[in-house]
Structure 1
Amino acid sequence: MKTKKLWISLCIPCLAAGIALTPTARAQSTAEQAVPASHSATSKEEAKAQRKAERKAHRAKKNAELKDLEKHGYSPAGNQTQYPQNLQNAQQKSEAQQKMNKPASAP
């Protein structure tokens, strides 16, 4: 009998806490439901468009870098027996030209 009373005295506060928290959880779920479905679809589309634009910009940057290296003598489809050295030479030439084209900063 004492065990049953002890169990009940321990369970009642837990149940009360659960009941007290239940309306809050329901309010949150109804607030989430209040957001129109079109709004979440629009934000998903915007996020997708942003990721697509970022991919395009990244691809354009990489293509520009490759064209610059090709302009300075690197050929990715060419003879690859001297691969690292050919790439490094093209990078050095590109960097040297960029330094020459860059205006001197004023002190």
Structure 2
Amino acid sequence: MRVTTTKLSLAAAVAALLVGAAVPSFAQSEGSAPAVAESAASKPLTNAEKKQQAKAQRKAERKAARARNNAELKQLGENGYRPSQNDPNYPQNLQNAQKKANAAAGASQ
């Protein structure tokens, strides 16, 4: 029983070694890669691919909008706006920070 298990283990190791050595020989050469890319570019998109592209575009738009919002909040914070404070002069403080930010943006242009 023990000899059979050892033989099977040896056979599995040899098979894994042979398969591992054979895989690189099936890889595409650099010469065939552009032909594959050109044929994929000329092929019309399927509905799943269209949905995937639309989803990626929406994700990029959300990411850009989030970055704009974060930049605006950072700029307001640098100009004195503190949203975490419970301030009875809330609208006035926000407006003052916006004025400072707009004045700084106008001066830098």
Q: TM-score range by the shorter chain?
A: 0.5 to 0.7
Q: Equivalent residues in 2 for 1:18-97 (5 A)? A: 39-97=46-104
- Say which of 87, 99, 103 aligns to 2:106: 99
Instruction: Work out the CA distance in 1 between the residues paired with 2:56 and 2:87.
Output: 38
RMSD across aligned positions (CA): 1.4
Could you report, residue by residue, the CA deviation over 1:1-39 in whole angstroms, capped at 9, with x for unpaired residues?
Answer: xxxxxxxxxxxxxxxxxxxxxxxxxxxxxxxxxxx9x71
Q: Equivalent residues in 2 for 1:12-23 (5 A)? A: none
Q: What 5-or-longer segments of structure 1 have no aligned partner? A: 1-35, 103-107
Instruction: Work out the CA distance in 1 between the residues paired with 2:71 and 2:90.
Output: 20
| Structure exhibiting the larger radius of gyration computed from Cα positions | 1
When normalised by structure 1's length, the TM-score is 0.59
Instruction: Work out the CA distance in 2 between the residues paired with 1:48 and 1:41.
Output: 10
When normalised by structure 2's length, the TM-score is 0.58
Q: What 5-or-longer segments of structure 2 have no aligned partner? A: 1-43
Instruction: Work out the CA distance in 2 between the residues paired with 1:54 and 1:99.
Output: 27
- Give the length in aligned residue pairs: 66
1:14 aligns with none
Structure 1 runs of 4+ with >4 Å offset: none
Could you tell me how far 1:78 is from its partner in structure 2? 1.1
